[in-house]
Amino acid sequence: MGVSYCATCDGNFFKNQVVAMVGGGDSAITEALYLSHIAREVHLLVRGDAMKAEQIWQEKITETKNIIVHYSTSVASIE
Write out the catalytic residue numbers.
6, 9-10
Instruction: Give dist(CA 28, CA 15) in Å, integer.
Output: 18
Q: Are 60 and 36 in contact (CB under 8 A)?
A: no
The number of beta carbons lying within 10 Å of the beta carbon of residue 27 is: 13
